Structure 1
Amino acid sequence: MKKICLFCAALALVGLNWSCDQIFNDPDQEQTILGDTLQLEYGETLTLFPDNIEVRFDSVFDSRCPALVDCAWAGMAEVRLWFRQNQVEQTGSLNTSNIPEFITVFGKTVRLIDVSPYPQEPQDIAQEDYVVRIVME
């Protein structure tokens, strides 16, 4: 009876180890690597490898002139990003006017590529509808 209990316990540990490997080391899961162009939806968090830097798209302020309107000023979209590495958090903002052109976070350069959708008419776009593209290298 004792041997059966030990065998069952060993089998359970092997099964637990296998299931953890499937969760944390999924070979089918695409990894995001520093230098890649990242596409983040509002509120989405990605982890960048090999440095294990988390990045999240926190918010956007969009004052760009809608495409179907004539404006005296083109306006801009400003995005706020959140970063974490080794339990240390930082935030930063980038905008479509490229001032600043980049920010430095955990020794890496972050650049804004695009903020979409571009407004077509003078009505607000919900935060949840925005997507940003950035590069961190």
Structure 2
Amino acid sequence: MKNLIIALLLASTAACTQETIDLSPKLATKVELSFDTEVVYQEGVKIKITKIEDSRCPKNVTCVWAGMARVFFTITEKSISKDGSIDFESNPVKTTIDVGGQKYNVEVSDVLPYPKDTNETSQKEYKVSLTLSK
């Protein structure tokens, strides 16, 4: 019976692909998120990275355009969700998203890793440093 319970717990854990960070930071605290990872703030607001597109010019490669990384995210407050995206080049960049009448500022300060060669980086390898505030 004990082995059955352990097997069921492991199976249910393996079925979950979304990761939730249990730090419970306050709004306006910088956090680092990966693809498909959600953070829940003390105020009850959630933000989740849903996709990253990276067209930045790899290091040691000559490009006509420096490129950018586009970060897609979802903000949820009181069961109301709003999708958004932000284009990051090299300096911190902000956007404002309205979720159910409440405006939130999203600032992305870094997207890592920076491309090193022409090989594609998988979604799970990316880390996005962002700050969510009112």
Matches within 5 A, 1:6-45: 30-45=23-38
Report how far residue 62 of structure 1 moved. Answer: 0.4
Q: Distance in 2 between matches of 1:61 and 1:134?
A: 16
Contact 2:96/2:103 (<8 A) preserved: no
The reply on whether 1:94 has 2:86 as its aligned counterpart is yes
Larger Rg: 1
Contact 2:94/2:105 (<8 A) preserved: no
Q: What per-residue deviation string (whole Å, max 9, x for no partner) do you get for residues 80-107 of structure 1?
A: 0011111101010011147x73222432
Gaps of 5+ in 1: 1-28
Structure holding more helix per residue:
1
Match of 2:4 in 1: none
Q: What per-residue deviation string (whole Å, max 9, x for no partner) do you get for residues 60-80 of structure 1?
A: 110000012111110000010
Contact 2:58/2:114 (<8 A) preserved: yes
Q: Distance in 2 between matches of 1:47 and 1:37?
A: 13
Aligned positions, number = 107
TM-score for the superposition, normalised by structure 1: 0.72
Contact 1:31/1:48 (<8 A) preserved: yes
Match of 1:108 in 2: 104
Q: Alignment RMSD, CA only?
A: 1.6
Match of 1:85 in 2: 77
- Alignment identity in percent? 25
Q: Which of the numbers 24, 39, 55 marks the counterpart of 1:63? A: 55
Gaps of 5+ in 2: 1-21
Contact 2:31/2:129 (<8 A) preserved: yes
Q: Distance in 1 between matches of 2:81 and 2:128?
A: 20
Structure holding more strand per residue:
2
Q: Distance in 1 between matches of 2:117 and 2:47?
A: 30
Contact 1:112/1:135 (<8 A) preserved: yes
Q: What per-residue deviation string (whole Å, max 9, x for no partner) do you get for residues 18-58 of structure 1?
A: xxxxxxxxxxx6321101001101110110122x1111010
Q: Distance in 2 between matches of 1:117 and 1:44?
A: 17
TM-score for the superposition, normalised by structure 2: 0.74
